Amino acid sequence: MLNVIYKSFVPYFIVALFLISCGSSSTSNKDRLRGNISVSGAFALYPLTVVWAEEFQKLHPRVRVDISAGGAGKGLMDALSGMVDLGMFSREITEEEISKGTWYIAVAKDAVLPTINENNPYLSKILKTGISSAKFEQIFINEQITNWGQLVDTAGTDKINIYTRSDACGAAEMWGKFLKKNQESLQGVGVFGDPGMADAVKNDKFGLGYNNVIYIYDMKSRVAYPGLKVIPIDINNNNVIDPSENYYESLDSIMSAIRINKFPSPPARNLYFVAKGKPKHKAIKEMLYWILTDGQNFVEESGYVKLPEELRLQELAKLNYKKPVSNIFK
């Protein structure tokens, strides 16, 4: 059973509501699109959704977008119950969820990365050898590896303090899937949300966790936030991080690895919006159309990866637009 840590800032993220206001008096009379769009769900997609909402509101100031983060599970539940128009979702949708009326559309890509405290005394060796999926499984699933010395084959006996997510989320599900299990199989101290997970590892010299890319790397410096390091994954299981596996030093290098499929999937994955049935409201449809067209220009500068062109066109077809809805796409 998970022990749960509640950080002092957690309530803020539970109730955080970004209200993108209705705009200014200088709105063009030609733009008559209006309405309120409510969105909740995955921490993974939350920062990008905020950027999209702000940019879309500049084009359509009479549209307001309310956004809250709470985990992918909450996003799906809120969408299917009708509490919100769109749920932010960060794992693959199951057949059971589809049978319940879940409509979904992919909008971007990212990945889940294993994290370690930058002051961990075993870090230098781990950066050279990496950790294989088999060893991660022995830590997070089977608990056969319990201390850092055992992990890196030294005499050290410092305990590995494992952190996992307490909220139903895509990050934990994808990390569990990478280890051939699921979120429920992951051991460790449960922490709410991506910010809580990053903070837990930053504050624990012997901590080990996992985070979505956007919560690891600073957008300005393009390197990991102080206190955090990414553990390289030893993909070919040779106990050495080869040059072809070494793409964690900057946000741009990990994004490039995800883009060209050098990073394993899972934990790389698509990010989605979900809804109960295909959206019918004009403002929602137009925002989704814009996200898959002009909105893709904001994806990579926000720390995510654009959809491959074939997939983008496939998802765009789900909206059944024969021509652009408004003149901003001409």
Q: Phi, psi (5° rounding) for residue 54?
A: -65, -45
pLDDT in tens, 236-275: 999 999 999 999 999 999 999 999 999 999 999 999 999 9
pLDDT in tens, 88-130: 999 999 999 999 999 999 999 999 999 999 999 999 999 999 9
Residue 37: which H helix or E strand, with range? strand 35-41
Whether the pLDDT of residue 328 is over 50: the answer is: no
pLDDT of residue 31: 74
Q: In this structure, what token pair is assigned to residue 267?
A: 């934990």
Separation of alpha carbons 86 and 82, rounded Å = 9
pLDDT in tens, 40-99: 999 999 999 999 999 999 999 999 999 999 999 999 999 999 999 999 999 999 999 999
Q: Which long-range contacts (CB under 8 A, 24 or more apart) does 291-295 make?
A: 291/52, 291/56, 291/107, 292/105, 292/107, 292/316, 292/319, 293/324, 293/329, 294/328, 294/329, 295/52, 295/55, 295/56
Q: Phi, psi (5° rounding) for residue 130?
A: 65, -175
pLDDT in tens, 192-237: 999 999 999 999 999 999 999 999 999 999 999 999 999 999 999 9
pLDDT of residue 32: 85
pLDDT tier, 320 (very low <50, low <70, confident <90, very high otherwise): confident
Whether the pLDDT of residue 188 is over 80: the answer is: yes
> What letter represents residue 94's amino acid?
T
Q: What is the mean pLDDT of residues 130-150?
A: 97
Q: Where in the chain is the domain with CATH 3.40.190.10?
A: 7-110+269-329, 111-259
Separation of alpha carbons 173 and 91, rounded Å = 7
> Largest Cα–Cα distance of the chain, in whole Å?
73
pLDDT of residue 166: 97
Instruction: Return the CATH architecture of domain 7-110+269-329.
Output: 3-Layer(aba) Sandwich (3.40)
Q: In this structure, what token pair is assigned to residue 257?
A: 């690895």
Given a contact cutoff of 8 angstroms between Cβ atoms, the answer to whether 206 and 158 are in contact is: yes
Separation of alpha carbons 52 and 290, rounded Å = 9
Angle, helices 133-140 vs 170-178, to 10°: value is 120
Mean per-residue pLDDT of the chain: 90
Q: pTM score > 0.85 for this model?
A: yes
Instruction: Return the CATH architecture of domain 111-259.
Output: 3-Layer(aba) Sandwich (3.40)
pLDDT in tens, 30-39: 678 999 999 9
